[in-house]
Each structure stands twice: as structure tokens, then as C-alpha cells.
Amino acid sequence: MSREAVEAVLGRAMLDAVFRDALFADPDQALAAFDLTPEEAAALKAIDAESMGAAAGALDERISKATWLGGDY
């Protein structure tokens, strides 16, 4: 199991809308660059696109507010 690879996919999906769209449009292609077990890939493919998009939007909003306020996030 490669926790780092799963974290890399999730982090990139949260911060990179183009990658996130590719992940849900063609998950096999998007995940090919990562060293994932079949179980990890299956778990990532099972994530709901709408939920991921909402979480990414909330994160982006929090980062934007923290940056605008000059604080740490």
C-alpha cells in the first residue's frame, strides 16, 4: 500500500481542477502515473465527483480568505 501515492492523487485532485476533471472523465488514464495498488485505485475511483468538487471549492475559498487576510492556512 502506498499512502503517499494516494495522498498525492487526492492533493492534486483538490488543487488542480484540470486533473480533477480528468480523474473523473478517465480515471484509469489519470491514475496511471501513480504507483497505486488495485485496491487503492478502486477506492479512488469510487469517490463521488460532486463531493470532491465541493471539497475542493471549500478548500480554495478558505485558502483565498486566509491569503486575503494575511493569515496562515
What pLDDT shows up at residue 57? 85
What pLDDT shows up at residue 70? 64
Residues of the chain whose pLDDT is less than 50?
A: 1
Contact (Cβ atoms closer than 8 angstroms) between residue 40 and residue 6: yes
How many Å from the N-terminal Cα to the C-terminal Cα in the chain? 29
Q: Where are the domains of the chain?
A: 3-69
DSSP 7-68: HHHHHHHHH-HHHHHHHHH-HHHHHTTS---HHHHHHHHTS-HHHHHHHHHHHHHHHHHHHH
Q: For the whole model, what pTM was predicted?
A: 0.77
